[in-house]
Amino acid sequence: MAVDKKKKKPVPVKGIGRNSVLNLIGYGLPLIVAVFAIPLLVKGLGTDRFGILTLAWVLIGYLSMFDMGLSRALTKMVAEKHGENKDDSLKEICGLIWTAVVLMAGFAICVAVISSFFLPFLVERILSIPDHLKSETLISFYLLVWSLPIVIPSIGIRGVLDAFGRFDLSNAVRIPLGIYTFASPLLVLPFSQSLAPVIAVLVAGRITACIAQILFCIKIVPGIIRTHNFRKDMAGRLLRFGGWMTITNMISPVMNFFDRFMIGSIVSLTAVAYYATPSEVVTKIWLFPIAILGVLFPAFSAGFAIDPEHALNLFVKGIKYIFLSLFPVTIAIILFSKQGLSFWLGSDFAENSTSIMQILAAGVFIHSIGQVSFALIQGIGRPDLTAKLNMIELPVYVAVMWTMTVYAGILGTAIAWTLRIMIETAIMTILALKLLGTGVHQHVFRKPSYIMAAALIFFLAASLVNGIVIKTIFFIALICAYIPLTWYKILTSDEKKFVIDNTLTLYKKRMKKNEP
């Protein structure tokens, strides 16, 4: 973010919509490839080997979290220094990058060494792996954990690109890597069905992506080659921020996915399937807020200290854009969940999972809105607040979920999950407002509060509508009202102009293509 030196305020962030779309493509396109690639992988590798491959993906994803929160800390602090635009900012940024990368590589090596001791026990004793696959599984897992010293620092380097607002560059790596992750094993199948070469090809892709990110980083921070020094003072700041981030990163996934283990232990494994399947579907909605918040987090970091009013405007826009993106999608899921599940998995599955899907869809919608507050709180340097909230929240949530699961089965589990999300979102929004110092701006959130309440009422109404014809009429009528209300009551004049200009641009391009 550039700074106007006369006014000492950040120039308004441009390209939030464009960068969010880039992020959405970066996260979403690999999933589309996965839809087509996974059946071929199952057929080519066999069920057992594919199951191990999915465990490998989970393993590398979970172990990548052990960057001690340094990648997020690096993004925040580089964005701050870039926003200050001082004479020594570039030198400070170079010091931050080198310090963070050295720390992340060190932690990654430690994780790899410790994991290596436990991998034989994991393969031989914990996982139910057929004897003839144990050797290649162990080799594959060794390849994965020893790729961490490359994988983990590369996450931090990608964060540097985001801090500079170069989402075009970060997605130029993320999109091919995501596609490669699912498509590259297919290239190995004609030559071998062993897991070891499949994992080796995946690791090679990670190394190539890391090299590309380093080259991009050199491009936008040209002094990084000359200024390579480890700064102890910066290490302390990075570790303090990253330590709180690590607590959040470890607790949050537990709270998001602990429900399945609770159901498996209290109800049955069949009930887990009835619950987990709609959960997997509706949580894909998180792609929308992840795409937008990836853009807003560095913007919050760069802009808050210089211009809190600007940070407030970004905060409101983030909530608005996520709401506008997800409201019609959520309504459609709640309305047509029974028909969709019945068509996809059969009437018995739909009978047991429809209510679960409707409740969880509302919870995911609320959670998506709440993530704007989460990003703001962390972006302005208070990750301790989200970590402390999660630590207080976890035991209470477990107790409530256990009670509701015992007395109401998977329906109670879904209600407990969504109830936690509602309370957490309310608390984080209050904390965000306090940090923004918006006592005189509370009126800014009156309209969003009313709109949110109306959305929840519509969700409840949609869940009570019966019959495909009535549901279709309800949906069409709601969208016909939603579009003009959004245009005249929610969008600003600048946002309307942006929509019109881009629509006209697309129309002209299409007309030009159709010209003889």
Share of the chain above pLDDT 90, in %: 8
The rounded distance, in Å, linking the Cα atoms of 501 and 516 is: 25
Q: Quote the mean pLDDT of the chain.
A: 79
Reduced to 3 states (helix: H, G, I; strand: E, B; else coil), residue 511 is helix
pLDDT band, very low/low/confident/very high, at 415 (cuts 50, 70, 90) = very high
Alpha-carbon distance 509 to 513, whole Å? 6
Tens of pLDDT, residue by residue over 27-66, are 778 778 877 787 787 778 777 777 777 777 766 666 666 6
Looking at mean pLDDT, say which of 49-53, 125-129, 262-266, 368-372 comes out highest: 368-372
Question: Which has more pLDDT, 108 or 516?
Answer: 108
Mean pLDDT, to the nearest integer, of 257-281? Answer: 77
Structure confidence at residue 9 as a pLDDT band (50, 70, 90): very low
- Distance, in Å, from the CA atom of 28 to the CA atom of 31, rounded to the nearest integer, reads 5
* The pair of three-digit structure tokens given for residue 287, joined into one six-digit string: 């792609």
The answer to whether the pTM exceeds 0.95 is no
Q: How many CA atoms lie within 13 Å of 133's alpha carbon, on the beta-carbon side?
A: 19
DSSP 8-state secondary structure symbol assigned to residue 166: -
Identify the helix (H) or strand (E) that includes residue 242. Answer: helix 232-266
Distance of CA 104 to the CA centre of its chain: 21
Compute the chain's Rg from CA coordinates.
24
User: Of all residues in the chain, what percent carry a pLDDT higher than 70?
Assistant: 86
Per residue, the 3-state secondary structure of 373-434, as one string, reads HHHHHHHCCCHHHHHHHHHHHHHHHHHHHHHHHHHHHHHHHHHHHHHHHHHHHHHHHHHHHH
8 Å CB contact between 104 and 210: no
Kindly tell me the sign of the dihedral angle through the C-alpha atoms of 350, 355, 358, 364.
negative
| Phi and psi angles of residue 10, each rounded to the nearest 5 degrees, phi first | -70, 140
Distances (CA, A) of 80 to 20, 53, 89, 227, 341: 20, 39, 9, 19, 47
Closest CA to 486 of 295, 325, 315: 325
User: What band does 365 get if pLDDT is binned at 50, 70 and 90?
Assistant: very high
Average pLDDT over residues 386-407: 90
Model pLDDT, residue 7: 43
Reply yes or no on whether the pLDDT at 127 is more than 70. no
SS3 of residue 230 by DSSP: coil
Question: Other CB atoms closer than 10 Å to residue 66's CB: what's the count?
Answer: 20
Higher local confidence (pLDDT), 382 or 58: 382
Q: Take residue 299 and report the two structure tokens written for it.
A: 């913007």
Residue 381, φ and ψ in degrees, nearest 5: 95, 25
Q: If we measure between CA atoms, which residue out of 418, 427, 478 comes closest to residue 454?
A: 478
Range of lowest pLDDT (100-114, 223-237, 388-402) = 223-237
Residue 224 has pLDDT above 80, yes or no: no
For the residues of 118-140, what is the DSSP string, one character each?
Answer: HHHHIIIIIS---HHHHHHHHHH
- The residues near 379 (Cβ < 8 Å, ≥ 6 apart) are 76, 296, 297, 298, 299, 300, 301, 304
**Considering only CA atoms, which of 259, 254, 262 is closest in space to residue 390?**
254
pLDDT at position 360 is 92
- Which phi and psi angles does 4 have, rounded to 5°? -80, 110
- Whether residue 197 has pLDDT greater than 70: yes
pLDDT at 3: 42
CA distance linking residue 342 with residue 349, whole number of Å: 7
Helix (H, G, I), strand (E, B) or coil at 181: helix
Are the C-beta atoms of residues 328 and 482 closer than 8 Å to each other? yes
Burial of 170 from C-beta contacts in 10 A (0-12 / 13-18 / 19+):
buried
The stretch 105-124 carries a mean pLDDT of 85
CA distances from 459 to 316, 358, 425, 478 (A): 22, 8, 18, 11
Lowest pLDDT segment from 115-119, 301-305, 441-445, 452-456: 441-445
Structure tokens that stand for 114 in this block:
């410790």
Q: What digits encode the pLDDT tens for the residues 423-437?
A: 998 898 888 888 877
- Decide if 152 contacts 104 (C-beta within 8 A): yes
Tokens of 244: 């709180």
- Give me the DSSP letters along 294-309: HHHHHHHHHHTTT-HH
Please report, for residues 218, 324, 469, 470, the alpha-carbon distance to residue 476 in angstroms, rounded to integers and kept in the order given. 51, 16, 11, 10
Cα gap 196→95, rounded to integer Å:
38
State how far the Cα of 43 lies from the Cα of 50, in Å rounded to an integer: 9
